[in-house]
Homo-oligomer: A and B are copies of this chain.
Amino acid sequence: MMKRISLKDIAEQVGVSTALVSYVLNNKKEGRISKMVAQKIRETAKKLNYRTNQIAKSLKTNRTFTLGLIVADISNPFSSTLARIIEDEADKIQYTVIFGSSDENAQKFDKLINTFLNRQVDGLIISAPDHSEEQILYLMGQGIPFVLLDRYFPSIPTNYIALDNRQASIVAVDHLIKTGRRKIGMISYDTTLHHLLEREEGYKQSLKKNGIPLNEHWLKKVQISNTRENMEKVMDELLAMDEPIDGLLFASNTIASVGLRYLNTLEIKVPEELAVISYDETEALDLFYSPLIYIRQPLSEMGQKAVELLLKNLDGETTVQQLNLPAELIIRASTIPK
């Protein structure tokens, strides 16, 4: 690789100090530097194709303008859509994003945190996996600026941007009931992640509110690490009961995607025999033979607010902000009244 041009090279060519070159290129001390010299410096920088060494600059200024993004899995559309929004927001404030996937694994998550901190990221945006309280508390203890996104821990008083999951489930299940369903199942993950527990709570709450006693067999949980294998089993159970369910809520896009694929292979008619609502939108929903109703998370707003909140923290803001944004139920064909 060719030798990179440094401030020193420019300084030597122009016959000034590196300090002056630095001032000019950073537009510091404007007006207090002779126009002539300033112009000469800029010209020479251009001619030599000078490129700031951000590493050196970061070492000196103690700011890297880098943001660490930890998602569950960047190849999941939910994560990658958020990543894209965050990329765009970060770009607006001159930030670059480094990312990593935790695979819902607290240990991998811990490793990512460490890697990112070693790299001196200015802050982190985090979708935390199950059982990662310790790492979150560590970050707080160290005073590292970060914002939790999507997932959060009610016991930890820290910044987060998330959905109002309980309300989202309530609206969804209310809709199922309003369109004539009474035996409503839900498939969620076997997890202690609070946002999913809230989704389950909302489901139960809606049933209760509408005078439908909860049948405990209606609420199924599948392993996060083993979703595909588990789904067929629990769906068979839900559909093979004495009184099979006539409404179903999927708690995530992955659950929905796998579930719909399986439904495609069955004789069940959606929405006539089984009305389905899914959390999150994926293109899969549109291509299912009966376009699905879904709970749309305000991803753009979530990503924007997360970056905005992180930036506030980088700028010294210390008050904690917690946001549970409302979801929107997108109503299409899959729950026409019976």
A71 to chain B minimum Cβ distance, whole angstroms, is 10
Residues in chain B near residue A289, CB distance under 8 A = 264, 289
Q: Given A84-B73, A283-B283, A287-B287, A55 and B119 touching (CB < 8 A)?
A: yes
Q: For residue A143, which residue of chain B has the nearest CB?
A: B1
A324 to chain B minimum Cβ distance, whole angstroms, is 24
A175 to chain B minimum Cβ distance, whole angstroms, is 22
A104-119, CB under 8 A of B: which get 1 and which 0?
Answer: 0000000000111111
Asked if B75 contacts A75 (CB within 8 A), the reply is no
A40-72: which residues lie under 8 A (CB-CB) from chain B? 51-56, 58-59, 64, 66
A224 interface hit (Cβ, 8 Å): no
CA distance A77 to B73 in the complex (A): 12
A241 interface hit (Cβ, 8 Å): no
A186 to chain B minimum Cβ distance, whole angstroms, is 21
A99 interface hit (Cβ, 8 Å): yes
CA distance A282 to B114 in the complex (A): 33
Asked if B75 contacts A84 (CB within 8 A), the reply is yes
A2 interface hit (Cβ, 8 Å): yes
Residues in chain B near residue A117, CB distance under 8 A = 51
A284 interface hit (Cβ, 8 Å): yes
Residues in chain B near residue A143, CB distance under 8 A = 1-2
Asked if B260 contacts A142 (CB within 8 A), the reply is no
Q: Given A118-B52, A287-B261, A74 and B84 touching (CB < 8 A)?
A: yes
> Copies per complex?
2
A185 interface hit (Cβ, 8 Å): no
A276-303: which residues lie under 8 A (CB-CB) from chain B? 282-289
A138 to chain B minimum Cβ distance, whole angstroms, is 9
Asked if A283 contacts B286 (CB within 8 A), the reply is no
A107-134: which residues lie under 8 A (CB-CB) from chain B? 114-120
A-side residues, CB < 8 A to B, are: 1-2, 51-56, 58-59, 64, 66, 73-77, 79-81, 83-84, 87, 91, 96-101, 114-120, 142-145, 257, 260-261, 264, 282-289
19 residue pairs of the A-B complex, CB under 8 angstroms, read A52-B118, A54-B118, A55-B55, A55-B119, A55-B120, A66-B98, A74-B84, A75-B84, A87-B101, A96-B100, A96-B115, A98-B99, A99-B99, A260-B287, A261-B286, A261-B287, A283-B283, A284-B284, A287-B288
Q: Which 8 A-B pairs have the closest CB atoms?
A: A80-B80, A75-B84, A287-B287, A1-B143, A283-B284, A284-B287, A289-B289, A287-B288
